[in-house]
Amino acid sequence: MRDLTESSWKLPAAAGVLFFLGYFSPLLIPNLVALIPVLLWLDANPNAGARRRYRVGFVLGTFVYLGALHWEYAMLRFSWLAALLYVVMIAYFAVFVATAFALLGWLRR
């Protein structure tokens, strides 16, 4: 378990996948349950710096929006620019999640 909490990407990636499954599977995983791995990471790393918390939030946002913006894939039928838009939108929305996660860590302190 210590290996998971020390990693900056394993638990956020798991949370992102659970978040994705909550929207697109018949399991109907609540969003709060999907965020448990990230909250576990935050609890195990209370002294993590703002830059590390931001990086963890960015990984979380990237995995969440990789699945949530899957409809962009259908736009490739019309233009190759949809692939560029897909990457830009993922990064743009992941920045918001990263900022919120960094602020969450700051409020926790």
For 59-75, write each residue's pLDDT tens digit. Answer: 999 998 988 888 888 88
| DSSP assignment string, 36-104 | HHHHHHHHH-TT--HHHHHHHHHHHHHHHHHHHTGGGGGGGGT-THHHHHHHHHHHHHHHHHHHHHHHH
Residue 5: per-residue pLDDT: 67
Contacts for 79 with CB less than 8 Å, ≥ 6 apart? none
For 17-51, write each residue's pLDDT tens digit. Answer: 888 777 766 666 677 788 889 888 888 888 888 89
Residue 77: per-residue pLDDT: 87
